[in-house]
Amino acid sequence: MNAIACLTQQHRDCDAILAQAEQAVRNGDWTSAGRTCLRLGTDLEQHFQLEEQQLFPAFEAATGMYSGPTAVMRNEHQEIRLLLQDMDDALLATDANAWLGHAETLLILIQQHNMKEENILYPMCSQHIAGFEQMVMAGASA
């Protein structure tokens, strides 16, 4: 598996966990939903850390673009974190309608965010960052 495939797989894994949490909420299984949401938050944060701490700085250094696409991606990461908080609040209140609404918003936000990364940013990172493959593989296995 190359670096882009590895990063893309991390996206897909998080999608699958979100879907699992959604199913649990729809079934009224709040215990399972809580566990799955915790896993989702951890996995997403791990992925964001790899991007924000390693990938984006390397891209910015290689291209000189500090306020371009990486700034947009960081901003969207922040929005995703806020939505995760909203979902946590709904989870604590066992409010299924609120949770499902925030989860759908998160899903669409994540999907359009992933599209930008997978279609545009990752190929550009692969093109401009020396040692891109090693950086991602080391970060993913950390």
Partner 1 sequence: MSQAWLSYDAAPPLRLPASFFAAGLLWLLALGCLLLPADMPTANRYHPQLVALTHALALGVLGNIMSGALLQMLAVASAVPASRAATLLLGIFLPWQAGTALLVGGFWFGFAPLALQAAAVLLCAAILRLAWHGLSGLAGSPARDASSRGMALALLALLITALLGLGLVLTLSGLLPLPLMPLLHSHVLWAAMGWLFLLLLAVSQTVIPMFLITPPYPAWMLSTGRAVLLLLLACSLALFFWPDQLWLTAGLLLIPVVLYAVQSWRLLRQSRRPADPLWWQWQGVMAWLLLGGVTAWLCSRWTEWPNLPLLAGLWWLGGVGLGATLAMLGKILPFLAWLHLKRLNPPRGLLPSTHGFLPESAQRRVRLLHQLWLLAGTLWCWQPGRFHGLFALSTLALAAYALWQGGKIARRYRAVQDAVSTAATH
CA dihedral 102, 15, 70, 76 (to 10 degrees): 0
- Distance linking the first and last C-alpha atoms of the chain: 16
Q: Pick from 105, 135, 137, 140: which binds partner 1 (CB under 8 A)?
A: 105
Q: Pick from 61, 119, 131, 138: which binds partner 1 (CB under 8 A)?
A: 119
> Contact region for partner 1 (CB under 8 A) — 32-40, 44-52, 54-62, 66-74?
66-74
Asked if 26 is part of the footprint of partner 1 (rule: CB under 8 A), the reply reads yes
> Contact region for partner 1 (CB under 8 A) — 32-40, 46-54, 67-75, 134-142?
67-75
Closest CA to 65 of 139, 118, 125: 125
CB 120 to partner 1: min, Å: 5
DSSP string, 7-61: HHHHHHHHHHHHHHHHHHHHTT-HHHHHHHHHHHHHHHHHHHHIIIIIIHHHHHH
Q: Rank residues 57 and 101 by Cβ distance to partner 1 and give the closer one.
A: 101
> Contact region for partner 1 (CB under 8 A) — 30-38, 39-47, 48-56, 118-126?
118-126
**Contact partners, residue 41, CB within 8 Å, separation at least 6:** 84, 88
Q: Which helix (H) or strand (E) holds 81?
A: helix 69-92
Q: Which residues contact partner 1 by CB under 8 A?
A: 15-16, 18-20, 22-23, 26, 63, 68-69, 72, 79, 82, 86, 97-98, 100-102, 104-105, 107-109, 111-112, 114-116, 118-120, 123-124
